[in-house]
Chain A
Amino acid sequence: MDLDGCLPLAVPVVVGLAARPLSSLLPPRTATWLLTATGALLALTGTATLALFALAGALRLPLIAALADLSQRVLHRDDPTSPPVAAVAGALTVAALVAATRTAVREVRALRAAARTARDLPGDGLVSVVEDAGVEAFALPGRPGRIVVSTGMLALLTEPERRVLLAHERAHLAGGHHLFRAVVRVASAANPALWPLRAAVTYTTERWADERAAATAGDRRRAARAIGKAALAAARDPGRVVLGIGAPPLCRRSRTRPGPVPRRVAALLAPPPPHRHGLVAAVALLAVLAVTGVQDRASDLHQVIHRARQGTAQSRG
């Protein structure tokens, strides 16, 4: 097994570990695109690499070699993939494909359900205000998407803060943020090393909407205060405890690292993050390495097959 050939399997681990730092360091729009595109590409190249390992092993099975008219001698001499490695790679390929398909189906269903809910909301404007003392607001993707705001949330915020809220949710719908999240979820289902990208892209899409809202308000500080105020009030909302909405993330989240809301508020209170072209280029380079790794592996295998074909021709001649 050459090292180059394993790059598509190593790069996702590096990108997975870098996802959270990248989500803070880069401007949110750049970070969202970079992490989503890289995640999708790495899921594809990783799965392709596993499939190539499995294929190389499968060719050494006497039955398949005979059917494809390949020289067993040449295959054993030229291809270093050991049968156990190939078997594991084959199992992982199937697992990755099944997991990705299942997640994709689930995402599509969830988006359809959201679109149905959006369609059935009372009223026909973009914003649907629902009579509810709880502090709640969210965007529902659909055609068209809708924004749901509770009267409890509206009562809490001042008029300029409400504009921040609406600009934030509108940015989610206009930017198609749910699609970035869905792509990353499918990619990380195919390759668990990419799992940290889920939280990272959820965070960067929130930050993206925050920055848009701050730009609309013309005041980062006001946007920060609106988010902080809503989060603190929502934390006191007993309805949430009953509904158990907050429970699972609380269990999962590490105690030492701050959660998304304080990070978002802190980011708005600081100046906007600078464009770091070097960092973006470094991540893009890693993705390119993974692609070339797959290409090398594929062309190696192609050559081995070619020689093995010639091998059988020679032994007959």
Chain B
Amino acid sequence: MANGGARRAAGTLESKIMAVLHRAGVPLTTSAVQARLGEELAYTTVVTILTRLHAKGLLVRAKEGRAYSYAPISDEPGLAARRMRAVMDGRPDRAAVLARFVDSLTDQDERLLRDLLEGA
């Protein structure tokens, strides 16, 4: 139960941190993000979320002294879908809400699909 709440909170925090970085317009270090969030969040929590957003391909980071500084990849419309996907990905209910045209494939699925299409 606590887990579900934590995950939901993480999705909200991701959106908040993205908003902070967009507003800033310049790369921010973890502590700068933490300061601008205006809520009591542990440094490690902010690091975790920034790392996750970076892994999702939403942020670029550069070494600045001993810490990383983060910036949104770009705000061009080209990234709208990707960002949306990533934001929905942070929600536990993504699968129910997004009716996607095609789902992911296992290697076995991929072989099976190729066989099916060859016959078609």
Contacts and interface: CB of A to CB of B under 8 A. Distances in A.
Interface of A: 102, 106-107, 109-111, 113-114, 117, 121-122, 130-132, 134-141, 148, 150, 153, 165, 168-169, 172, 177-178, 181-182, 185, 202, 205-206, 209, 221, 224-225, 227-232, 234-235, 239-240, 242-246, 249-250, 253, 255, 258-262, 265-266, 269
Given A231-B102, A262-B112, A111 B97 contact: yes
Nearest to A129: B81
A156 to B, nearest CB: 11
A209 B109 CA distance: 20
The residue among B96, B98, B100, B120 with the most chain A CB atoms within 10 A of its own CB is: B96
A243 B86 contact: yes
B81 A110 contact: no
Contacts of B57: 239, 242-243
A117 B93 CA distance: 14
Contacts of A132: 78-82
Interface string B52-67: 0001110000000000
Contact of A249 (B92, B102, B104): B104
B22 interface: no
Contacts of A134: 81-82
15 contacts: A109-B93, A113-B97, A117-B87, A131-B77, A134-B81, A141-B99, A182-B96, A185-B93, A224-B116, A224-B117, A253-B106, A255-B106, A260-B103, A262-B109, A265-B113
B18 to A, nearest CB: 14
A227 B77 contact: no
Closest 7 CB pairs of A and B: A246-B104, A110-B93, A130-B81, A131-B78, A231-B102, A172-B99, A137-B101
Contact of B106 (A107, A168, A172, A259): A259
Nearest to B91: A110
A261 B97 contact: no
B100 to A, nearest CB: 4
A130 B80 contact: yes
B101 A110 contact: no
B82 A266 contact: no
A248 B78 CA distance: 26
Contact of A177 (B81, B99, B104): B99
Given A130-B78, A244-B55, A148 B84 contact: yes
Nearest to A173: B99
Given A221-B120, A245-B104, 10 more contacts: A106-B8, A110-B97, A113-B88, A131-B80, A139-B99, A169-B101, A225-B117, A228-B120, A234-B104, A262-B113
Given A132-B78, A243-B56, A266-B116, A232 B105 contact: yes
B44 interface: no
A204 to B, nearest CB: 12
Q: Which interface residue of B101, B114, B119 has the most chain A CB atoms within 10 A?
A: B101
B4 interface: yes
B109 A258 contact: yes
Given A117-B88, A134-B81, A221-B120, A250 B97 contact: no
B95 interface: yes
B77 A122 contact: yes
Contacts of B86: 243
B77 to A, nearest CB: 6
B103 A259 contact: yes
Contacts of A130: 77-78, 80-81, 84
B85 interface: yes
Given A130-B77, A234-B102, A117 B84 contact: yes
